[in-house]
Amino acid sequence: MKTTLKIAGMHCNGCSSNLEKMLNRRKGVLSASVSLEDAAAQVEYDETQVDLDGLREVVENCGFDVVE
Protein backbone atom coordinates (compact mmCIF):
# COMPACT_ATOMS: atom_id res chain seq x y z
CA MET A 1 0.00 0.00 0.00
CA LYS A 2 1.27 3.47 -0.90
CA THR A 3 -0.03 6.75 0.42
CA THR A 4 0.90 10.40 0.61
CA LEU A 5 0.14 12.17 3.87
CA LYS A 6 -0.04 15.95 4.09
CA ILE A 7 1.90 17.03 7.16
CA ALA A 8 1.43 20.24 9.13
CA GLY A 9 3.99 21.73 11.49
CA MET A 10 7.36 21.00 9.88
CA HIS A 11 9.69 24.00 9.99
CA CYS A 12 13.15 22.84 9.03
CA ASN A 13 15.15 19.96 7.57
CA GLY A 14 15.56 18.54 11.08
CA CYS A 15 11.80 18.17 11.33
CA SER A 16 11.48 16.31 8.04
CA SER A 17 14.45 14.04 8.62
CA ASN A 18 13.29 13.17 12.15
CA LEU A 19 9.85 12.28 10.88
CA GLU A 20 11.30 10.26 8.03
CA LYS A 21 13.49 8.32 10.47
CA MET A 22 10.59 7.61 12.83
CA LEU A 23 8.27 6.52 10.03
CA ASN A 24 10.92 4.16 8.69
CA ARG A 25 11.30 2.65 12.18
CA ARG A 26 7.59 1.88 12.48
CA LYS A 27 6.77 -1.80 12.12
CA GLY A 28 5.06 -2.36 8.79
CA VAL A 29 6.58 0.66 7.03
CA LEU A 30 8.54 -0.53 4.01
CA SER A 31 9.82 2.91 3.03
CA ALA A 32 9.05 6.50 3.91
CA SER A 33 10.21 9.70 2.30
CA VAL A 34 9.37 13.11 3.76
CA SER A 35 9.52 16.38 1.86
CA LEU A 36 9.75 19.65 3.74
CA GLU A 37 8.91 21.74 0.64
CA ASP A 38 5.84 19.66 -0.20
CA ALA A 39 4.85 19.30 3.48
CA ALA A 40 4.18 15.67 2.68
CA ALA A 41 5.23 12.13 3.53
CA GLN A 42 5.20 9.37 0.95
CA VAL A 43 4.82 6.08 2.74
CA GLU A 44 4.82 2.54 1.43
CA TYR A 45 3.50 0.14 4.04
CA ASP A 46 2.24 -3.35 4.67
CA GLU A 47 -1.42 -2.88 5.54
CA THR A 48 -1.48 -6.14 7.49
CA GLN A 49 1.00 -4.60 9.97
CA VAL A 50 0.13 -0.92 10.17
CA ASP A 51 -2.79 1.28 9.10
CA LEU A 52 -3.37 4.99 8.62
CA ASP A 53 -4.07 5.47 12.32
CA GLY A 54 -0.72 3.87 13.10
CA LEU A 55 1.04 6.21 10.69
CA ARG A 56 -0.81 9.20 12.14
CA GLU A 57 0.36 8.13 15.60
CA VAL A 58 4.00 8.30 14.46
CA VAL A 59 3.45 11.76 12.95
CA GLU A 60 1.78 13.04 16.14
CA ASN A 61 4.47 11.55 18.36
CA CYS A 62 6.95 13.62 16.36
CA GLY A 63 4.91 16.74 17.14
CA PHE A 64 3.25 17.17 13.75
CA ASP A 65 -0.25 16.67 12.41
CA VAL A 66 -1.70 14.83 9.46
CA VAL A 67 -3.88 17.18 7.41
CA GLU A 68 -7.08 15.55 6.19
**What is the smallest separation between the CB atom of 59 and ligand 9UX, expressed in angstroms?**
12
**What is the smallest separation between the CB atom of 4 and ligand 9UX, expressed in angstroms?**
20
The CA-based angle 37-40-46, given to 5 degrees, is: 145
For the chain, the DSSP string reads -EEEEEEE---SHHHHHHHHHHHHHSTTEEEEEEETTTTEEEEEE-TTT--HHHHHHHHHHTT-EEE-
**What is the smallest separation between the CB atom of 9 and ligand 9UX, expressed in angstroms?**
8
27 binds ligand 9UX (CB under 6 A): no
Kindly tell me which residue out of 1, 4, 14, 67 binds ligand 9UX, with binding defined by CB under 6 A: 14
Binding positions for ligand 9UX, rule: CB under 6 A: 11-12, 14-15, 63
